[in-house]
Structure formats: structure tokens, C-alpha cells
Amino acid sequence: MKKIYQNALCLLALGLTFASCDNYLDDVPKGSKAPTALADYEAFLRDEYTNHRVDITGASQLLNDQYVTLANLASYRLYNANYMWDENADRIALKQSDETAYYSSYAGISTFNLIIENALTTTKATDAEKRIVWAEAKVLRAMNYFNLVNFYADTYAASTASTKLSVPLITSADINAPSRQVTIQELYDFILNDVKDALPYLPKVSQTALHPNLGAGYAFYSRVYLQMNNYTEALKYADLALAENNKLYDWVGYYNTNKTIIDLPNSYTTTTSPMGYTYVENYTYRHGTYSSLTTENSIPVERAQRFETGDARFISRWKIYTVGAETYYRRTLSGAFNFGGITTVEVYLIKAECLARAGQISDALNVLNTVRKTRILPASYQDIATADKTVALNAIYKTKANELINTLIPFADAKRLNAEGVYPVSFTKTANGTTYTLKSDSHLWTMPFPQGATQNPGNGTITQNVAK
């Protein structure tokens, strides 16, 4: 864990030189500048490559939301274990090197801890301005912890959350800060409290796409409550978030504007991603994996088959491609992608699930179809209409998994549904004549901590949450 802070502090410097890691704010070398003004700390929130990366490569590969080439399957045994659902693989032994999903998240947490500890006592700002930056850091810290607990621990279940371990909780930017691997319940309580503290001070309009606004706070609260199976509170905050921003992007319009390029046979010329900093669906923007800063993943043929016929969002993003012995759907967008933040479409679909869970099937499907009308080409579009709760929920889950592909959410949703056991998620595929299955109760749904974390936990201890 100490390594996390050493890396984080170096990144946080942003050109500022400190005398030592232990007392970097107390002993400033001559000619150097220590952060004292609010603007100095607010600048850390703009360091997107350090503090806004949400790497979920393992989860994306497990879901087969990311195509992994034959060469990479042969070269990277961990990729093969997740992608081919190898329950015999010792993924702990295979995680010998540092893992971005873990270290980037804690580097961001160190940044946000630094801001939370110091923003309210900075200079050259009003108390209200200080509170805004403090609140933004609180939300971002909570988001990082949500990502970590849903990647490295079992999903939230009220019956076991108070006994099962989650991830190390660290609330100080000090390099020697103690950490404790808290229970899942303790971490969720901490996350909810951070957002509760922040909500009164979040602005309605963001300073940049990286700064959470009030809508982002409500949307994230809704996400957390859904993961806790608290559908009443999730619906409440989904409605509050949509009152702040309820825009949906017109993917049918995007396809029609670019169809000459998109439909050109045997051409893989890219069009510009609309899912960047100015995407109308954004509450807050965060990057995905490093490779996704300018491109997104290609996807397997089997995964492509789960999209609806006429899905303009799918047609605009991927096109079937064959090279040698491999066939997959190659990415055809370039630019920026909000794979780590929160968007309105997620909140619409949270609302739809909560309504369906409450037996309000017609209302739930109205919300679902509102989303689908902006995605499905008119020639293929039909309203989903049913009075059956299971049919309605499965339609919502299918749309949500497709809409949020290459984000953490389909993985977190699958874990939540598998723990519940009523709408389990499992997958089957055939490769080279062999059938592979990812069972709903597989241990593969929980990612192991990297060895670097367990062997060097800093001022604390870390226990693996999965056997292999």
C-alpha cells in the first residue's frame, strides 16, 4: 500500500517540489511552491489521467465485453483465465505485477483525501467555493471505493455484508496512514455518508465534465442504493437526478448523419465518438482503461449477437471484421468515451428496474422504451409490451448491459442479480469445438487482489476475498 502513496504523491506534485513524503506540506524547499490556495487543490481534480481512470479490464474480459485476440490469450494467462472462464486457474498466482484497477483507484483516493483534508482551510476563496471543491472530492472518493468494492469483493447482501470483508479503507493522504480492510457494510456506510456530506454543497452546473455536480451526486446515490437492493431509495434519487438532467443522445440521428461512412462495405474508417466530455447524457465524466482514452474495445461475435436488431448505437460503434483465423466486431469510433462516470441512460434504467420491482410494469416499460426510441432504428423498433414482471426485468437488464458495455456496471449488476438468485446471469460459448460456461455462482465473479497489494499492504493488512 505504501507504493500507492509514493506513486500518488509524485503524480499529485504536478510540478510542485516537496522536501519529503512525510512532511511535504511543512518543509518547502526554497524557490518551490506548496499548495495553499483553493485553486492549487482544485487543479488536482483536473488531472484526469491520474485521478479519473476506472480500469475494469478483468471484468470486461470475464463478461466477454472485450474481444481478446488469440495471441493475447496465449501470452497472458490471466486474460485467458477470465476470458475462457477457467475455474481451475489460480488467478492470485497470475496477478504477480501491479494492477491498474487497484493502484489507479487508490492513487485517486489519495488525491481526494488530500483535497478533503485541506480544501476547507485554503486561501484565496470564499467558504462556499471551498465547500464545493471539498464536496466534489467526497463524491469522487466514494465513487472510487464503490468501484473497488464491486471489483475485489463479493456483492452487497444484507445478510452477509457485516461479516464479509471488502477493501482497505484509507481516509488520509499521509504516506504512513493506517488502513483497515473493513466489512462490506462498513464500506457502503462510508460511501453513503460521503455522498450525504457532499450533496448540500454540490453545484447544479459543473465547472468541467470531471467535476461532479448535484445531478451526479443524486445519480451516484441511486447507483449505490440499487446495488444494495434498496429500490425505494434508488428510485427516489433516480428521479432527483433526472430532474437535474434527463437528456438522451439521439443515436438514430448519429447513425443517419454518418451512415455513408458506417455502411461502406469493408471499410473501417472511424467516426467521432459523441461519448466524450460534452456528451449530453453526462452527469460526470471519467475514463475507462488506458487504451480507452482514444479508442474502445472490439467485441466478440457472440457478444455482438446480444444487441437488438437495428440498434443504431451498436451499428455506429462496431463492424464485423476478419483477419486470419479470427473474426470479431472491430471498433469504429475514435475519440473520448465516458466509461467511468455516470450518464442519464444508466439512471433511466435504474428507474425502470425499480418501477418493475414495485410491480409498476407499464410505467417501467415506458421508461425503458423512452431509452430504446433514441437507439433503435425506426424500421426495427417496436415497443416492448408485457404484463409479466420477469419478462420486463429481463428486457431492462438486456438493454442496460448493452448500453453500459465496457463499464463496471454490467459486472456489478450481474453479481447483484446472481446473489439474489431470482434473475441469475450466466453465459455459454463454444470455441474450437469446446463449450465453455460462466456459472452464476462461479468464484470468478470476484477478482483477487494483486500480489503487490497483499504482499506490501503498507500500514495495514489485506486478506484475499476469493480462493483463486
Q: 168: which strand partners?
A: 181
Report how far Cα 70 is from the mean position of its chain's Cα atoms.
Answer: 27
Q: How far apart are CA 51 and CA 275, in angstroms?
A: 19
SS3 category, 390: helix
- pLDDT at site 351: 99
Q: How many CB atoms lie within 10 A of CB 7?
A: 17
Residues whose CB is less than 8 angstroms from the CB of residue 20 and which lie 6 or more positions away in sequence, other chains included: 27
Return the SS3 of 422: coil
Domain segments of the chain as ranges:
2-229+444-455, 251-334, 343-439
Residues of the chain with pLDDT below 70 are 1-33, 290-293
Q: Give CA–CA dist 235/347, Å, rounded.
A: 9
Domain 2-229+444-455 has what CATH class? mainly alpha
Q: Check residue 16 and give its pLDDT.
A: 32
d(CA 146, CA 141): 9
pLDDT for position 206: 94
User: CA-CA distance, 246 to 343, in Å (whole number)?
Assistant: 9
Phi and psi of 252, rounded to 5°? -65, -40
Give the per-residue pLDDT at 32: 55
Return the bridge partners of 342, or none.
Answer: 284
The CA distance from 196 to 144, in Å, is 16
- Spatial separation of the C-alpha atoms in residues 307 and 341, rounded to whole Å: 22
pLDDT, residue 20, reads: 32
Amino acid at 301: V
Separation between Cα atoms, residue 146 and residue 166, nearest integer Å: 10
pLDDT value for 118: 97
Distance (Å, whole) CA 125 – CA 108: 24
